[in-house]
Amino acid sequence: MQIIQTIQALETERHQWHGSVGFVPTMGFLHEGHLSLFQKARSAHTILVASIFVNPTQFGPHEDLARYPRNLARDLQLLEAVGVDVVFTPSASEMYPEAFMTFVEPGGVLANQGEGAARPGHFRGVATVVLKLFSLIQPHSAYFGQKDAQQVAVIQRMVKDLNLPVTIQVGSTIRENDGLAMSSRNSYLTPPQRHAATILYQALQAGRKLFESDPTTDTRLVLQAMQTVIAQEPLARLEYIELRHAETFLSLERLQAPALLLLAVSIGATRLIDNFIYRTHGSWDTGQVLYSSSETNI
């Protein structure tokens, strides 16, 4: 497995690749959700590339850039074990040299509602770094997780609008046995907070079951029922619960596919997001439980 730290070295190496290239961008501190994407990509491509880069431009001024969890040595061991060929680990100054001034600015409801409203400038940073990585690595396919559903939609829109020659593959949310979506930020949670964090999954399940009992149910009633679930947990502070179109992120008054039932909740100082997706064939993708809680501390 090659570890590359500079753009010049990556460009030199890229000329030597033959066959299809799969790419999984990450910010490191890997968990089974990330690894499921690498496993999916490994089976489909000749060359498998990972990036580990905590992207400063997608963090707000009061967010957790400085304390975002990092463990590069552990990440590299995990990536080698799943068969990654190349890992790109640039510094911030390598990706954003002095006088850098060109950014990708996603627009409309897709980028300005939900996470876009909660984290102004977040998707500007995401789109910019992903476009740079696509330009450098030139993958045939890139792999993202469904947990970050709005990020996926923003990237898919960017790829379409800018005619980028890459296919976006989306892997299901990977969950612990009590339903909590795996996330690098889960490491912030104390044991009581970790227990409380399951309230996100419980609320999503409550909303799904109401829609399954009657797909014509008024969305407002479903969201109110989910809010009631969240309110039962004293450590939880609700930011939003929404039903949105999975591609445009327009709000939906009635359930229609493809739709996202999504929410953001803070448990203490830790902000968590999660979602279920309602597919075109009328079924829900609620994610995949792979491991018991004692086995997920990777």
Structure confidence by residue, pLDDT tens digits, 11-64: 999 999 999 999 999 999 999 999 999 999 999 999 999 999 999 999 999 999
Cβ count within 10 A of residue 228: 11
Q: Indicate the average pLDDT of the chain.
A: 95
* CB-count burial class (<10 Å; 0-12, 13-18, 19+) for 281: exposed
Architecture of domain 2-171: 3-Layer(aba) Sandwich (3.40)
From residue 227, give the alpha-carbon distance in Å to each of 117, 185, 275. Answer: 19, 23, 14
Cβ count within 10 A of residue 25: 23
pLDDT of residue 208: 97
220 labeled part of a ligand binding site: no
CB 41 within 8 A of CB 125: no
Closest Cα to residue 274, out of 187, 203, 225? 203
Residue 99 is classified by DSSP as T
Q: Which residues are catalytic?
A: 34
Q: In sequence order, what are the beta bridge partners of 251?
A: 244
List, for residues 221-261, the tens digit of each pLDDT value: 999 999 999 999 999 999 999 999 999 999 999 999 999 99
Q: Give 32's Cβ-side CA count (13 Å radius).
A: 20
33 labeled part of a ligand binding site: yes
Q: Which helix (H) or strand (E) holds 77?
A: helix 72-81
Equal fold, 2-171 vs 176-295: no
pLDDT of residue 293: 37
Q: How far apart (Å, rounded) are the C-alpha atoms in residues 171 and 145?
A: 5
45 labeled part of a ligand binding site: no
Q: How far apart (Å, rounded) are the C-alpha atoms in residues 248 and 110?
A: 6
205 labeled part of a ligand binding site: no
What are the domain boundaries of the chain? 2-171, 176-295
Q: How far apart (Å, rounded) are the C-alpha atoms in residues 240 and 106?
A: 21
CB 24 within 8 A of CB 143: yes
Q: 282 pLDDT band (50/70/90 cuts)?
A: confident
Q: Which residues contact 53 (CB under 8 A, 6 or more apart)?
A: 25, 26, 27, 28, 88, 89, 90, 95, 129, 133
28 labeled part of a ligand binding site: yes
Q: Match domain 176-295 to its CATH number in 3.30.1300.10, 3.90.1300.10, 2.60.40.1930, 3.30.70.580.
A: 3.30.1300.10
Question: pTM for this one?
Answer: 0.95
